[in-house]
């Protein structure tokens, strides 16, 4: 049975690496895999081609989408066999409508979404919220805080301090964000005030 999967974790939990490994596994079984990422994520382009790239060096060419893109149209454009799979990286940037579309696509083929659950303010992203509401399978990809506890917060770091205000979307990786447990997050916020 085809499903809509949401695999989420804090910054640094290897979400993208796992998405790329999943892609590889499907390909070895003879599936056509369509790897997507939002145009918002401008971090990796090689020879003018958009790439999904992990911190450990895995990368693959992908298809970019924007907030106005229809996944129903993308399905019709790309898929000509039901032995196909959609994998979406950075799925927190999906719109509610796009998640609804992916739910419909998942009735035909598997759809696997990888991304963050919450933003740097510890609030659900729009795409993540809708995925929690309608995905058939929710899986947490665990990561650890520097203290050894489970990381659940995506702290935005600006000039060495945790930021609590600003635009929801600021593309970055280890230079801008740190996955940490809630206790360390609160402790650092108190220390900097």
Active site residues: 90
What is the spatial distance between Cα 175 and Cα 193, in angstroms, rounded to a whole number?
A: 22
Taking the C-alpha atoms of residue 38 and residue 31, their distance in angstroms, rounded to an integer, is 23
The H or E element containing residue 36 is: strand 32-38
Element housing 187 (H / E): helix 182-192
Exposed e or buried b per residue across 42-66, where buried means at least 16 C-beta atoms within 10 angstroms of its C-beta = eeeeeeeebbbbbeeebebebbbbe
């Amino acid at each position: 049975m085809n499903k809509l999967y949401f695999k989420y974790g804090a910054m640094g939990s290897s979400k993208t690496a796992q998405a790329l490994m999943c892609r590889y596994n499907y390909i070895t079984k003879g599936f056509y895999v369509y790897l997507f990422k939002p145009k918002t994520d401008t971090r990796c382009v090689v020879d003018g081609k958009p790439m999904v790239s992990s911190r450990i060096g895995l990368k693959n060419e992908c298809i970019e989408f924007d907030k106005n893109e229809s996944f129903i149209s993308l399905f019709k454009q790309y898929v000509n066999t039901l032995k196909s799979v959609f994998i979406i990286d950075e799925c927190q940037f999906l719109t509610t409508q796009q998640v609804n579309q992916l739910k419909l696509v998942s009735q035909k083929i598997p759809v696997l979404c990888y991304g963050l659950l919450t933003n740097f303010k510890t609030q659900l992203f729009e795409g993540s919220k809708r995925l929690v509401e309608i995905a058939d399978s929710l899986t947490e990809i665990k990561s650890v805080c520097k203290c050894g506890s489970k990381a659940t917060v995506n702290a935005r770091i600006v000039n060495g301090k945790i930021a609590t205000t600003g635009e929801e979307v600021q593309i970055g990786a280890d230079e801008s964000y740190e996955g940490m447990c809630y206790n360390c997050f609160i402790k650092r916020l108190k220390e900097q005030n």
